[in-house]
Amino acid sequence: MAFIEIRDLVVQFTRISEDGSETAGKKAIDGIDLDVEKGSFVAVIGMNGSGKSTLAKCLNGLIIPTSGKVLVDGMDTSDDSHIWDIRRRIGMVFQNPDNQIVSSIVEDDVAFGPENLGIPPEEIRERVDNALKEVGMYENRLKGAHMLSGGQKQRIAIAGAVAMKPQCIVFDEPTAMLDPKGRESVMRIIRQLNSEGITTILITHFMNEAAQADRIVVLGKGKVLADRTPDRLFSDMELIDRAGLELPPLIELREVLGLSDSIMTVEDMISELKKQCR
Ligand X SMILES: Nc1ncnc2c1ncn2[C@@H]1O[C@H](COP(=O)(O)OP(=O)(O)O)[C@@H](O)[C@H]1O
Q: Which does 54 bind (CB under 5 to 8 A by kind): Mg ion, ligand X, none?
A: ligand X
Q: Which segments of the chain does DSSP mark as H helices, in order?
A: 52-59, 83-89, 97-100, 106-116, 121-134, 150-162, 180-195, 207-210, 230-233, 237-242, 249-257, 266-277
Beta partners for residue 67, in sequence order: 10
Residue of the chain from 40, 53, 199, 200 that contacts ligand X (CB under 6 A): 53
Task: Kindly state the helix (H) or strand (E) to which residue 16 belongs, with its residue range.
Answer: strand 4-16
Question: Using CB under 6 A, which of 3, 52, 243, 251 touches ligand X?
Answer: 52
The least distance separating ligand X from the CB of residue 221, rounded to whole angstroms, comes to 9
Q: Check residue 51 for interaction with ligand X (CB under 6 A).
A: yes
Residue 49 binds ligand X, judged by CB under 6 A: yes
Nearer to Mg ion, 46 or 114 (CB): 46
Segment contacting Mg ion by CB under 5 A, of 52-60, 206-214, 227-235, 253-261: 52-60
Rule CB under 6 A: say whether 199 interacts with ligand X.
no
The number of beta carbons lying within 10 Å of the beta carbon of residue 59 is 21
Nearer CB in complex with ligand X: 21/48: 48
Does residue 13 belong to the site contacting ligand X (CB under 6 A)?
Answer: yes
Spatial neighbors of 48 by CB under 8 A, at least 6 apart, are none
CA distance 189 to 156: 11
The residues near 15 (Cβ < 8 Å, ≥ 6 apart) are: 22, 23, 24, 25
Among 17, 21, 23, 48, binds ligand X (CB under 6 A): 48
Binding of residue 28 to ligand X (CB under 6 A): yes
Q: Which of 46, 65, 113, 151 touches ligand X by CB under 6 A?
A: 46
53 binds Mg ion (CB under 5 A): yes
Nearer to ligand X, 162 or 203 (CB): 203
Residue 194 and residue 33: Cα distance in Å, rounded? Answer: 23
- Angle 78-80-86 from CA coordinates, rounded to 5°: 80
Q: How many residues belong to the site for ligand X (CB under 6 A)?
A: 11
Integer-rounded Cα Rg, in Å, for the chain is 20
Q: How many CB atoms lie within 10 A of CB 181?
A: 10
Among 3, 9, 32, 50, binds ligand X (CB under 6 A): 50
Sites of contact with Mg ion (CB under 5 A): 52-53
Sites of contact with ligand X (CB under 6 A): 13, 25, 28, 46, 48-54
